[in-house]
């Protein structure tokens, strides 16, 4: 597969302390994706590509936190007024906290856009393109269209949530969509969700690559 690096965006999804070992919603092996992401970012930037990062950015008492609901535990699913089937999570990525900060080893120099999502108390956002009502845009689509981006490479956390929803939206929007397999990790809640996400991404025509491909 070939793509024009100058028309390619690397999207670094939610590489934040709360999703890394020691965080409140730690993804196993999350720290092992940082070097592959940094390498990709540096080589893509050298070839004229663009780099954007997302940050999960919730207000305290966010609707996706189990602690915001009476008698609910993390891992349960509820229906909210805006979203059917909202998974409840431990409190994570609260705006301005160290848990919401990027991992200290993530190379941010080449990042020219940071999209913060999930900042509305009553609405969660997994995808970097649309919030979980599946309608409210984050602005990423407009930004990359105005730059003439044709290909988006997905990296970061988590394969079965934010990476999955971002990649599926990206493909639906008509961009050539690639997941960098060695630069993503999943949470696996509920069990099997990573495998299910990979299967549906592949059957939607999303490509998977690994190694030194930029
Ligand atoms: C995410 C669960 C809750 C993610 C964000 O980044 O995949 N997962 N909030
Ligand atoms: Zn979140």
Q: Is the pLDDT of residue 64 over 70?
A: yes
Task: Note the pLDDT of residue 162.
Answer: 98
Chain centre distance of CA 18 = 13
77-78 and 86-87 strand pairing: antiparallel
Active-site entry in 20, 93, 162, 170: 162
Does some domain include residue 92? no
**Containing structural domain, residue 193:** 5-56+102-209
Tell me whether residue 39 is one of the annotated catalytic residues.
no
Task: Note the pLDDT of residue 75.
Answer: 92
Task: Note the pLDDT of residue 200.
Answer: 98
Does some domain include residue 17? yes
Compute the distance between CA of residue 147 and CA of residue 106 in angstroms, rounded to an integer.
24
Position with higher pLDDT, 3 vs 118: 118
Q: Is the pLDDT of residue 196 over 90?
A: yes
Give the helix/strand (H/E) hosting 55. Answer: strand 50-56
Task: Note the pLDDT of residue 3.
Answer: 81
Does some domain include residue 48? yes
CB 24 within 8 A of CB 92: yes
Does some domain include residue 147? yes
Ligand 1: residues within 6 Å at CB? Answer: 14, 19, 56, 89, 126, 157-158, 161-162
Tell me whether residue 72 is one of the annotated catalytic residues.
no
Of all ligands present, the nearest one to the C-alpha of 197 is: 1
CB 91 within 8 A of CB 24: yes
Does some domain include residue 94? no
> How sure is the predictor about 55, in pLDDT bands with cuts at 50, 70 and 90?
very high
Pull the structure tokens for residue 133. Answer: 């009502």
- Using the mean position of ligand 2's atoms as its centre, give its distance from the Cα of residue 92 in Å: 6
Per cent of the chain over pLDDT 70 is 99
Q: Is the pLDDT of residue 1 over 70?
A: no
Chain centre distance of CA 150 = 19
Per cent of the chain over pLDDT 90 is 95
Please write the tens of the pLDDT for every residue from 117-167.
Answer: 999 999 999 999 999 999 999 999 999 999 999 999 999 999 999 999 999
This prediction's pTM: 0.97
Q: 160-179: string of b/e by CB count within 10 Å (b at 16+)?
A: bbbbbbbbbbbbeeebbbbb
Q: Is the pLDDT of residue 67 over 70?
A: yes
Does some domain include residue 93? no
The conformational region for residue 33 under phi > 0 = left, psi -120 to 50 = alpha, else beta, is alpha
Please write the tens of the pLDDT for every residue from 36-53.
Answer: 999 999 999 999 999 999
CB 7 within 8 A of CB 46: no
Does some domain include residue 66? no
Which ligand 1 atom lies nearest to the CA of residue 64? 3
Q: Ligand 1, from 125, 162, 168, 179: best to mutate by most atoms within 8 Å of Cβ?
A: 162
What CATH number does residue 173 fall under? Answer: 3.40.50.850
> How sure is the predictor about 213, in pLDDT bands with cuts at 50, 70 and 90?
confident
How many structural domains is the chain composed of? 1
Task: Note the pLDDT of residue 108.
Answer: 97
């Amino acid at each position: 597969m070939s793509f024009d690096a100058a028309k390619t965006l690397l999207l670094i999804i939610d590489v934040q302390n709360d999703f890394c070992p020691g965080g409140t919603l730690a993804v196993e092996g999350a720290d092992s994706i940082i070097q592959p992401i940094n390498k990709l970012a540096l080589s893509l930037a050298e070839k004229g590509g663009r780099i954007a990062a997302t940050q999960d950015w919730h207000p305290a008492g966010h609707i996706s936190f189990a602690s915001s609901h009476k008698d609910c535990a993390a891992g349960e699913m509820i229906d909210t007024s805006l979203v059917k089937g909202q998974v409840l999570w431990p409190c994570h990525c609260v705006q301005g906290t160290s848990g919401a900060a990027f991992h200290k080893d993530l190379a941010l120099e080449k990042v020219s856009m940071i999209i913060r999502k999930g900042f509305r108390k009553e609405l969660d956002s997994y995808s970097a393109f649309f919030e979980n009502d599946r309608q409210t845009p984050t602005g990423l689509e407009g930004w990359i269209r105005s730059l003439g981006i044709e290909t988006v490479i997905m990296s970061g956390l988590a394969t079965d949530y934010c990476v999955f929803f971002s990649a599926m939206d990206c493909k639906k929007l008509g961009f050539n969509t690639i997941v960098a397999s060695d630069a993503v990790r999943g949470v696996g809640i509920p069990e099997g969700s990573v495998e299910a996400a990979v299967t549906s991404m592949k059957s939607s025509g999303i490509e998977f690559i690994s190694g030194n491909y930029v």
